[in-house]
Amino acid sequence: MSSGTAPEGIRIVGATKSFKLDGAPFLALQSTDLAVAQGQLVAVIGPSGCGKSTLLRLIAGLEPADGGDILVDGWTPAEAARRGVLGIAFQDPALLPWRSVLANIALPLQVLGRNVAEAKGRIAELIALVGLRGFETARPSQLSGGMRQRVAIARALVTEPSVLLLDEPFGALDQILRRNMNLELQRIWMRQRSTTLLVTHGIDEALFLADRVIVMQARPGRIAASIDVAFPRPRPLSLFSAPEFAALTAQVADALHTGEG
Amino acid sequence: MQRLARLGIFLAVWEAIGRWQLIGSGALPPPSAILVQFWADRAVYPAHVWATFWPAGIGFLIGDAAAILLAIAFVLVPVLERLLRGFNIAIFAIPPITLSPLLVVAFQGTTPQIVLAAVTVYFPTMIATLIGLREIDPRFADIIRAYGGGTFTILWRVRLRAALPSIMTGLRIAAPSAVLGAILAEFGSGSRWGLGSFLLGSMGQANPARLWGIGLCATALAACGYLVFSLLGALAAPGTAATTMAIRRDPAAEGGKTQGPLVVRLALMLASFLMPFLLWQGVLDLLQISPVIARGPLGVWRVLVTGFDAADERAALVAALEQSVPVSILGMAIGIGGAFVLALVTVVRPAVGRALMPPSLLLQTMPLVALTPLVVLVLGRGLTATLTIVFAVTFFPAFLVMAQGMANTPRAARDVIQVYGGGALQQIWLVGLPSSIPYLFAAARLVAPSALLGVITAEWLATGYGLGNLLNEARGELDYGMIWAVAFASVAVSVIFYLLVQAAETLINRRFFG
Ligand SMILES: Nc1ncnc2c1ncn2[C@@H]1O[C@H](COP(=O)(O)OP(=O)(O)OP(=O)(O)O)[C@@H](O)[C@H]1O
Ligand SMILES: [Mg+2]
């Protein structure tokens, strides 16, 4: 599917990004290096405003980096987007309000010029997966916040992306649904093995899903720590209450808090 | 049910006033008499209605197609919008009646009506489309771009659909304007058919019931156009508003703002200023209108500055301006002032607003200026008639803009004041007034050209005064130079007023709203 010139996955070397804030530059992301190997799931965690969304937007080519190199499956972000390498779900579902659930999920296919009719079965499967069977023709305004978020997740998966960018996709869901979606995401991911970058506020969610947790700090936004998570897969829900899970949770919380003092 | 009852009372009162000739000694006939006359005239109505409707419809289609296509072009190439800003303002500011005599001598048949209808619909549709296309939720564009879509994909998949309700709002305002434009073009044409011609032809017949019948018929035609696009708009609306709020603004929404180095900005401003004149000359050249009739910018310059009797012409024009402009400003001040006060009242008494909104919407769609003969019939040919017309054409749109704007101010802001024991006056002073200022300016900008149009039309048809009279005389004497000069001066006054309001608006906004 992809045949980049460099190793696959995400590779970021020395990427920086600053915004203009009242005329003065504001450093949202300090020179950042990050490598996510092909098929790896990396979770990003950090305080609000530390640049997590910015990092994701740089990788998706939605903002130009001020400097440094970003390669996605060996392509520049813009080229990767054009080739349909990416799947993305934002912090906010951002569904087109005039489209039905079905049509919203089909949108990436249309933009990429792919055949929607051929993907019918796949879209139906995704709708079932996110538990929205029976809502195919509903408009976003008729759905609850959590349901909308699930549509956005289905939309992110519809192109069978080799790189998946998820920005707090479960932020709007209640705890029980969230756990279930964690399980589902793990299942989908194990089947598809997309290279995945998952932004989250939940330490437990990050540890449950990720091969590696990146801890970021704010002012300026930067990567402060990287913690490997070696639990065998598939991980059961009982992992949440395992002692070694608690130990790792403490380690991540530590890394999160040291930056604050 | 309550509405029906209200309508019944209204008709009964009207009938009584008409029966006993309480207004203008019979100038306001009772509805029954109007109906009887309408029935007596039933044979000629279809032809008149058709002669107005058909060119209005064609002009509507042409003007709106141009408006929508240009708005799309403005979104794709923002610098184009900067270049044509002067042109857009000029088109907006043209009092259509001043074009009417020019069009009538330059074209034949229904062309003047079509052109005038197209000119009047262009601006409202263009601006509504532009706003709709620009103000999209930036997150929608993000989604498209994450899958490699570019400007055109965003236009196609997001902007056009998102703009649909806004476009319908534009068309809803444009539809009555098209009827008005077509009627105004008939005023100068001397053609036999059309509601405008019918109205003018019936003016001297001492038959008020017929005049009222024609006026109501024209209103019904305009209101139909308004209703059709209201319904279409309601169909397009559901599910267009995003379910959650976007925090960022779409960068393209900033397209209208001036950026770049000072030299570039000045060059753009100059080009934008010159563009209307270039286009004016260009259209004349393109259509190859006889130079006897046509005057380009240089021609008007010659008439007013370098020609052998330029001093006389200038004196006549200045005298006319001195008569027309103060009346326009006075009428507009009364109209906007009244609307402002009433809008403030609606802040503390929302019920008043709800009651006044529907009739205001209806009255706004009336081709009021075209109904000048009716007003003259009731109020005579003096200043009162002129002021009444200007008041009527400025009051309703101004009230709608301000009342709708103020209705958007959060209820909570007023509640805070109420909780601390503030009364109605304090609510007006602390919340209503500050939140209304932007809408006051918007209303002033919106209605200024209508005010001038109202004055000129009244002067032309009734009072024999000012610019309208000068225009009418020049038309009679086939003094084409003067016709062009009057048209140019009217547009210039209107544009200057627009720019003054805009400057004041920017100043105040910067001062008080950061
Ligand atoms: N378009 C923008 N213009 C100006 N500043 C921006 C812009 N986007 C982000 N920023 C700034 O960059 C910093 C990082 O923002 P970002 O959205 O990446 O944070 P985040 O880590 O995703 O936070 P959260 O957890 O709250 O979503 C913030 O301080 C924000 O103010
Ligand atoms: Mg974020």
Which ligand is closest to the CA of A221, given by its number? Answer: 1
Residue type at A99? R
> Residue B482, Cα to own-chain centre: how many angstroms?
25
CA distance B48 to B53: 9
Q: By C-alpha distance, which of B439, B177, B474, B142 is closest to B303?
A: B474
C-alpha–C-alpha distance, residues A162 and B163, integer Å: 34
Residue A126 near ligand 1, beta carbon < 6 Å: no
Residue B298 pLDDT > 60: yes
- Residue spans of the domains in chain B: they are 18-241+249-293, 301-514
Residue among B384, B38, B71 nearest B212 (CA): B38
- Residue A257 pLDDT grade (very low, low, confident, very high; cuts 50, 70, 90): confident
Bridge partners of A42?
A: A197, A212
Query: Considering chain A, what is the average pLDDT of its residues?
Result: 87
- Confidence check: pLDDT of B428 > 80: no
8 Å CB contact of B137 and A140:
no
Record: contact A88-B146, CB cut-off 8 A: yes
Which of A57-71, A125-139, B412-426 comes out lowest in average pLDDT? B412-426
Interface size, chain A vs chain B, as Cβ–Cβ contacts under 8 Å:
78
Task: Indicate the average pLDDT of chain B.
Answer: 83
Task: Give chain B's contact residues with A (Cβ, < 8 Å).
Answer: 137, 139-140, 142-149, 153, 157-158, 161-162, 238-244
Q: Whose CA is nearest to atom 19 of ligand 1?
A: A49
List the single best residue of A72, A111, A167 to mutate versus B (max B Cβ within 10 A): A111
Helices first, then strands: H and E counts in chain B: 23, 0
Ligand 2 center–CA A85 separation, angstroms: 22
CB distance A30 to ligand 1 below 6 Å = no
Rounded to 10 deg, the angle between the B310-348 and B433-458 helix axes is: 140
pLDDT of B207 over the 90 cut:
no
Residue range B380-398, pLDDT digits in tens: 788 888 888 888 888 888 8
The mean pLDDT of B164-176, rounded to a whole number, is: 88
pLDDT, one tens digit per residue, over B88-132 is 888 888 888 888 888 888 888 889 999 999 999 998 899 889 988
Q: Is the CB of A49 under 6 A from ligand 1?
A: yes
CA of A45 relative to ligand 1 center, distance in Å: 14
- CATH fold, domain B301-514, is MetI-like fold (1.10.3720)
Tokens of A97: 């309000």
- Report which residue type is found at B264: V
* CA-to-CA separations, B304 to B297, B307, B481, B482, B506, in angstroms, rounded: 11, 7, 9, 9, 33
In this prediction, residues B215-224 reach a mean pLDDT of 89
The confidence score (pLDDT) of residue A3 equals 46
- Assign A7 a pLDDT band (cuts: 50, 70, 90): low
Strand-pair partners of A11: A35, A71
Q: Do domains B18-241+249-293 and B301-514 have the same CATH topology?
A: yes
Could you identify the residue written with the tokens 């008149």? Answer: B48
Mutate to test the interface with B, among A83, A86, A90, A98 (most CBs of B within 10 A): A98
State the CB neighbour count (10 A cutoff) for residue B481: 18
What are B312-338's pLDDT values in tens digits?
888 989 999 999 999 999 999 999 999
Distance CA B112, CA B117 (A): 8
Q: CB–CB of B146 and A61 under 8 A?
A: yes
Query: How many Cα neighbours within 13 Å face the side chain of B63?
Result: 34
In short, whether A194's Cβ falls inside 6 Å of ligand 1 is no
Q: Whose CA is nearest to atom 17 of ligand 1?
A: A53
* Cβ(A52) – ligand 1 distance below 6 Å: yes
CB contact under 8 A, B146 and A94: no
Q: Which of B332, B49, B408, B37 is nearest to B209 (CA)?
A: B37
Among the bound ligands, name the one nearest to the CA of residue A22: 1
Q: How far apart are CA A130 and CA B252, in angstroms?
A: 34
To the nearest whole Å, the CA of A156 is away from the closest chain B CA by: 10
List of chain A residues whose C-beta atoms are within 8 Å of the C-beta of residue B142: 57, 60, 62, 90, 94
- The CATH code for residues B18-241+249-293 is 1.10.3720.10
Ligand 1 pocket member A54 (CB < 6 A) = yes
The whole-angstrom distance between A18's CA and the closest CA on chain B is: 16
What Rg do the C-alpha atoms of chain B give, in angstroms? 24
pLDDT at B370 over 90: no
Q: Where are the beta strands (DSSP E) in A90-231?
A: 163-167, 195-199, 212-217, 222-228
How many Å apart are CA B115 and CA B103, to the nearest integer? 8
pLDDT at residue B513 is higher than 70 = no
Return the amino acid letter for B236: A
Which residue of B lies nearest to A61 if distances are taken between CA atoms? B146
Whether the CB-CB separation of B456 and B97 falls below 8 Å is answered with: yes
Strands A212-217 and A195-199: unpaired
Identify which of A141-155, B64-78, B358-372 has the greatest average pLDDT: B64-78
Say yes or no: CB of residue A200 within 6 Å of ligand 1: no
Chain A residues lying within 8 Å of B241, measured CB to CB: 97, 141
Distance between Cα A28 and ligand 1 center (Å): 7
Per-residue pLDDT band for A4 (boundaries 50, 70, 90) equals very low
| B243/A159 CB distance under 8 A | no
What pLDDT is recorded for position B266? 86
Tell me the pLDDT tens digit for each residue of A100-122.
999 999 999 999 888 889 889 99
Q: In angstroms, rounded to a whole number, what is the distance separating the alpha carbons of residues B253 and A51?
A: 25
Tens of pLDDT along A187-229? Answer: 888 888 889 999 998 899 999 999 999 999 888 888 888 889 8
User: What tokens appear for B281 in the block?
Assistant: 């000359």
Ligand 1 atom 5 nearest Cα = A19
The answer to whether the CB atoms of A111 and B161 lie below 8 A apart is: no
Contact B145 A62 (CB under 8 A): yes
Listed in sequence order, the residues at least 6 apart from B449 whose beta carbon sits closer than 8 Å to its beta carbon are B92, B93, B94, B95, B494, B498
A143: which chain B residues are within 8 Å (Cβ-Cβ)?
243
ipTM of the complex: 0.84
Distance B231 CA to ligand 1 centre (A): 41
CA-to-CA distance for B473 and B476, rounded, in angstroms? 5
Bridge partners of A34, per DSSP, are A12
Q: Is the pLDDT of residue A98 over 70?
A: yes
Query: Of all protein residues, whose CA lies closest to atom 3 belonging to ligand 1?
Result: A19
A94: chain B residues, CB-CB within 8 Å: 137, 139-140, 142-143, 242, 244
Per-residue confidence (pLDDT) for residue B408, from 0 to 100:
63
**Index of the ligand 1 atom closest to the CA of residue A216:** 21
The rounded distance, in Å, linking the Cα atoms of B236 and B111 is 33
Query: Would you say residue B433 has pLDDT above 80?
Result: no
Find the mean pLDDT for residues B128-157: 89
Per-residue confidence (pLDDT) for residue B472, from 0 to 100: 87
Does the Cβ of A51 fall within 6 Å of ligand 1?
yes
Smallest CA–CA distance, residue B439 to chain A, in Å, is 27
Lowest average pLDDT, out of A125-134, A246-255, B256-265, goes to B256-265
A171 within 8 A of A91, measured Cβ to Cβ: yes
